[in-house]
Amino acid sequence: MRWQKGSVAIGLGLIWLSWGQMSQAADDQPARETVDRVARLFISQSSIATVDMQITREDFQRKISMQFWSRGESNVLIRVRSPQEDAGTAILKVGNKTWCYLPKANRTMKMPPSMMMDSWMGSHFTLDDLVKENNLTNDYVIAASFEGKRDGVAVTEYTLTPKRAAAVVWGKITLEIRQADQMPVRQRYYDEDGKLVRELSFSEYKTVSGRLIPTRLVMRPLDKTDEKASADDGGLVDGVRRPPDQTVEQTIITYENIIFDGPISEETFSRKNLKP
């Protein structure tokens, strides 16, 4: 009996290998380029932005106003301007190190990896979401998975499947891009069991410093509200469970002002500059 088990395992292994190769082969160059371009929409030589974050949670609502400075992908500085209780809090990323300045304690602290994955300022974004370098094309196999109209808009959906060696938290990401202007519409994050965990939607596309970008990003967690939504199937919209409107948990990021490729001094990204 043992040899049979062995051969089954080998058979499964072969299937898995060939499947891996198939999905590898499905990774087409145009898809890869499109996704890469979209992922780099906000990245440029330099950028200075004023960003509002409107957070709605079960237990509180708050609005945070922040200023972003960036140079390429490796240097980022974020400074919180309001509300009063968090004003002055600042994040500095240089290379792969991140520091945080805490105004009340008047201390600068190196951020441990665990905190990079936690909710940032009570929002539905993690610090990793905001400052981590984009590695989509390195970490994922990318393939177009749908083409057609969704909500009356012609879109192409790309599916990103993590490569075997990639150290990523998601089991799958899908990205919908408008065919008309190649703008992102919706990005969905699935966990390793294939369950939809959160959804990022883009809107209010504007041309800023000669670039067309979405200026409103809405992040919604979709895992927590699953039970509520499935209780009455009214929450089902194009196959996605949405929470009932009165309990929408979400974070809306709005770009109030953004300047690309303006001058930024070298000192901006120094630890000295963390303190206001």
Partner 1 sequence: MSGRLLQLAWRNLWRNPRRTLIAMAAMGLGYAMLLFVACLMAGLRQQMIESGTGLVLSDMEVHAPDYYPDRPTHQTLGGRTGTDVSALLAAITADPRVQAASPRVYGYGLVSATHQSAGVQLLGVVPDQEPKSTVLQTRMVKGSYLTGRMPKGVVMGDKLAATIGVEVGSEIVLVTPAANGSTGNDLYTVAGTFHTGLDDMDRGLVLMSLASLQELLRLPPGRIHEVGIKLHDITTATATAAALEAQLGKTLPVRVRAWPELAPELDDYVQFNRRVTFILFFIFFLLAVMGIVNTMLMAIIERTRELGMLMAVGMRPAQVVNLIVAEAASLAGASLVLGAALGAPLLWYLQVHGLNLGGNRGAVSLAGVVVGPIWYGRQDFTTYTQAALGLAVTALVSALYPALRAARFRPTEALRKV
Query: To the nearest whole angstrom, how small is the minimum distance from the Cβ of residue 202 to partner 1?
Result: 24
Query: To the nearest whole angstrom, how small is the minimum distance from the Cβ of residue 114 to partner 1?
Result: 6
Cβ proximity to partner 1, 73 vs 128, nearer residue: 128
Cβ proximity to partner 1, 123 vs 156, nearer residue: 123
| CA neighbor of 172 nearest in space, from 150, 156, 151, 188 | 188
CA 176 to chain centroid, in Å, comes to: 13
How many residues can be counted in the chain? 276
Query: To the nearest whole angstrom, how small is the minimum distance from the Cβ of residue 63 to partner 1?
Result: 10
Q: Report residue 10 as tokens.
A: 């080998």
Query: To the nearest whole angstrom, how small is the minimum distance from the Cβ of residue 85 to partner 1?
Result: 5
> Considering only residues 2, 5, 104, 164, which one is a binding residue for partner 1 as defined by CB under 8 A?
104
Number of residues that bind partner 1 (CB under 8 A): 27
Query: To the nearest whole angstrom, how small is the minimum distance from the Cβ of residue 109 to partner 1?
Result: 5
| CA neighbor of 66 nearest in space, from 254, 266, 215 | 254
Query: To the nearest whole angstrom, how small is the minimum distance from the Cβ of residue 48 to partner 1?
Result: 23
Q: Does 246 bind partner 1 (CB under 8 A)?
A: no
Separation CA 160–CA 157 (nearest Å)? 10
Q: Report residue 126 as tokens.
A: 């993690």
Query: Quick one: the chain helix, strand, coil %, rounded to 5?
Result: 25, 45, 30
Query: To the nearest whole angstrom, how small is the minimum distance from the Cβ of residue 78 to partner 1?
Result: 12
Per CB under 8 A, which region of 79-87, 140-148, 171-179, 239-247 contacts partner 1?
79-87
Whether 244 and 231 have beta carbons less than 8 Å apart is answered as no
Per CB under 8 A, which region of 31-39, 80-88, 173-181, 229-237 contacts partner 1?
80-88
Q: Does 144 bind partner 1 (CB under 8 A)?
A: no
**What DSSP designation does 148 have?**
E
Q: Does 3 bind partner 1 (CB under 8 A)?
A: no
> Considering only residues 1, 3, 22, 105, which one is a binding residue for partner 1 as defined by CB under 8 A?
105
Q: Does 176 bind partner 1 (CB under 8 A)?
A: no
Whether 101 and 77 have beta carbons less than 8 Å apart is answered as no
Whether 176 and 185 have beta carbons less than 8 Å apart is answered as yes
| CA neighbor of 90 nearest in space, from 112, 73, 72, 108 | 108
Q: Does 81 bind partner 1 (CB under 8 A)?
A: no
Amino acid in the structure at residue 49: A
> Considering only residues 6, 11, 83, 276, which one is a binding residue for partner 1 as defined by CB under 8 A?
83
Strands 75-82, 90-94: pairing kind: antiparallel
Angle among Cα 230, 232, 236 to the nearest 5 degrees reads 65
Q: Does 33 bind partner 1 (CB under 8 A)?
A: no
Positions in the binding site for partner 1 (CB under 8 A): 55, 57-60, 62, 83, 85-86, 89, 100, 102-107, 109-110, 112, 114-115, 118-119, 121-123
